[in-house]
Structure 1
Amino acid sequence: MRGVPKDIPIDEVKEDLLSQHLLVQSIRRIQNHFREPLDLVLVSGTAEANDKTTKAAFFKIRSVCFLSGVKAEHPHKRALPGQCHNCQFYGHSSRHCLNPARCVKCLGNHGTAQCTHNRDTDGPPACVLCKQKGHTANYLGCPRAPKRAHPPEKVAPRRDAAHARCLINAKLRLHSGGTM
């Protein structure tokens, strides 16, 4: 939910949503990367709240704790996994990384802050992930960088022999007057 003032405790927000007959399981305040609270609140509904009418009622909410200007919206999902700024691999953050440091600009086994690589004197950067020169490890065009997932194509249902026989028999019955 967007627009919930930072000074309103999340317990009060949860109580207000429950008083509006919404099936709320948990609620938490979203924080920025400095761990400062934002005016965003993530609300998780109970299993019973997974039907269309309950979801529709939730997205019609315009006020919480007698304050208007609140809007319910779907959470934004990241399209790509995050990249660690310590080891440069994807899928985890540097806060939880146990791998040795690797530079984003050169093939060195040091942190990026300690790198002395200069583009003018040392040439173009080199990627520590694919070992190629010409791009850094955070370049999305790197062959080792994760690609955006495309939605799966709809595949026609597979028709097996038993299904085909069933269709043929049904057509024969239809054309022969219903008796075989």
Structure 2
Amino acid sequence: MDNKEKEKPHPSQPKETQSNILTQQIFHKSFFNKTRTQSLSNLDNVMPANTDLDDDQWRTVPERKRQRESPEINKALKQKKLDTYWLSQPIPTSNRFSDLSDDTQIPQTNDIIEKPAKAPPLYVDRVSNIQPLLKMLDEIAADDYEVKVLPNDQVKIQPKSTESYTKIVKNLQERNTEFYTYRPKQDRCFKVVLKNLHPSTDIEEIKAELEMQGHKVTNIWNVKQRITKKPLPMHFIEVESNNNNKDIYNIKSLLHCRVIFEPPRPKRDIPQCSNCQQYGHTRKYCFRKPKCIKCAGDHASSKCERKERSNSVKCILCDGNHPANYKGCAVYKELQRIKYPTQPGKHRQTTRSVHRPNHAETTARQQDQPSYKQVLMSNKSQHPSLPANKQSPNESTEVQTNSNDMKVIMNTMSQLIQQLSTMTNLLMEIMTKLTNSVH
């Protein structure tokens, strides 16, 4: 029996002896006689591949793990290499914020930068020679203005700042210049409409309540119905111009009442100056000579001699027989048409409404037209010699025409009857002939 068969464990043997035999088979000496791959780094320490080892002798294997160098040494070596290279010289750097101190604060982007208010223009009249005007402007505002020449000897001056605007207005007033301008934007009031507050509410209480909320009221008045003059639960309020003006729309309760603040509706109307009677500006910023609204004279309307209504009036705009503020004036209609043209839908409604008169117009027309009784009485007054039962000439002619028409109709009817009778006679003759031929 071979040695291999002898080494096989028998099932009858105990388990400990069986495990010893298996370990001897696995770790046999023939496994340690194989040649090993030689490492380039440890050639001197490795023994030749042909050397035989005894069963009890073991081979010492050198450590393969390479020792890592410290990072400080590597850093120094790398720095030395970089310093020696001519293209690896360190780049000189500078901090442009080094001069700033630590106390400096960076401006926040959320802060709103307000733009300076634009100055309103000035319109100067009767400028036949512009040289004195330009000389005055150069002395006052230097290069802080622009000039535009308009027709009818008028010049427009546009200041670039509010300071130049005030200086120009003051100097033009001192020289008694005829011109007009507008209110600066910073001087304009902020207007709102207050709704749902009883008209009997005290105005002073409303002012005090709004001032507590940070809004200074300059003027307030109650709105009345246009026809009945009945006070409405609505107030017009003017507030001083400020950055928090639009916060007034967030107020929902005032004096323990639920209220609504709304912006006023824009008016589709051109303003008219009560001083010079021209359109496009107001009296407060008009420095022209006054014109009368009634007689077109060179005086104020309040100083006119005509204190009562009169038909002999004159419009300074169109020389018509009406006052200057008449809305049917041709000049006003033309300006209104240019600035506020009518929309197609609204134009159709107006044209349709013209063809549909209201009840008042129809009653007025009926009153103007004479009744049937009035017409008869007028005919009797024109012909008093005619008796009551005698017909007037117009009525007699109508009767004659009617009788003639009846005669014509009767003649045509008689002719038709004769033709029908002849046709019936012919038919009877034909029928008799047919019956005789059949028999």
Q: TM-score range by the shorter chain?
A: 0.5 to 0.7
1:67 counterpart = 2:277: no
Change in Cα spacing, 1:81 to 1:13, as seen in structure 2 (3 Å) is farther
Change in Cα spacing, 1:89 to 1:126, as seen in structure 2 (3 Å) is same
Q: How many residues align?
A: 122
- Whether the 8 Å CA contact 2:314–2:324 is kept in 1: the answer is yes
Rounded Cα–Cα distance in structure 2 between residues aligned with 1:7 and 1:63: 14
Question: What runs of 5+ residues in structure 1 fail to find an aligned partner?
Answer: 15-26, 47-54, 155-180
**Counterpart of 1:79?**
268
1:101 counterpart = 2:290: yes
What is the deviation of 1:67?
Answer: 2.6
- Whether the 8 Å CA contact 2:277–2:293 is kept in 1: the answer is yes
Counterparts of 1:76-155 in structure 2, within 5 Å, are: 76-117=265-306, 123-132=311-320, 134-145=321-332, 146-147=335-336, 149-150=340-341
What is the deviation of 1:98?
Answer: 0.4
- Whether the 8 Å CA contact 2:294–2:315 is kept in 1: the answer is yes
1:6 counterpart = 2:206: yes
Rounded Cα–Cα distance in structure 2 between residues aligned with 1:135 and 1:89: 15
Rounded Cα–Cα distance in structure 1 between residues aligned with 2:336 and 2:216: 31
Counterparts of 1:4-43 in structure 2, within 5 Å, are: 5-8=205-208, 10-14=210-214, 29=217, 31=219, 40=237
Rounded Cα–Cα distance in structure 2 between residues aligned with 1:45 and 1:116: 48
Change in Cα spacing, 1:127 to 1:72, as seen in structure 2 (3 Å) is same
Change in Cα spacing, 1:150 to 1:72, as seen in structure 2 (3 Å) is farther
**Counterpart of 1:18?**
none
Structure 2 SS opposite 1:72:
strand
- Whether the 8 Å CA contact 1:30–1:39 is kept in 2: the answer is no
Structure 1 SS opposite 2:213:
helix
Structure 2 SS opposite 1:31:
strand
Rounded Cα–Cα distance in structure 1 between residues aligned with 2:278 and 2:236: 32
User: What amino acid maps onto 2:287 in structure 1?
Assistant: L
Rounded Cα–Cα distance in structure 2 between residues aligned with 1:72 and 1:124: 47
Structure with a larger share of its residues in helix: 2
- Whether the 8 Å CA contact 1:127–1:135 is kept in 2: the answer is yes
- Whether the 8 Å CA contact 2:275–2:300 is kept in 1: the answer is yes
What is the deviation of 1:143?
Answer: 1.1
Structure 1 SS opposite 2:284:
helix
Change in Cα spacing, 1:83 to 1:41, as seen in structure 2 (3 Å) is closer
Rounded Cα–Cα distance in structure 2 between residues aligned with 1:45 and 1:98: 34
**Counterpart of 2:246?**
45
What is the deviation of 1:9?
Answer: 5.1
- Whether the 8 Å CA contact 1:6–1:39 is kept in 2: the answer is no
- Whether the 8 Å CA contact 1:86–1:101 is kept in 2: the answer is yes
Change in Cα spacing, 1:79 to 1:39, as seen in structure 2 (3 Å) is closer
- Whether the 8 Å CA contact 2:276–2:290 is kept in 1: the answer is yes
What is the deviation of 1:6?
Answer: 2.6
Rounded Cα–Cα distance in structure 2 between residues aligned with 1:41 and 1:73: 12
Q: Which has the larger radius of gyration?
A: 2
Structure 2 SS opposite 1:113:
helix
Rounded Cα–Cα distance in structure 1 between residues aligned with 2:245 and 2:266: 15
What is the deviation of 1:77?
Answer: 2.2
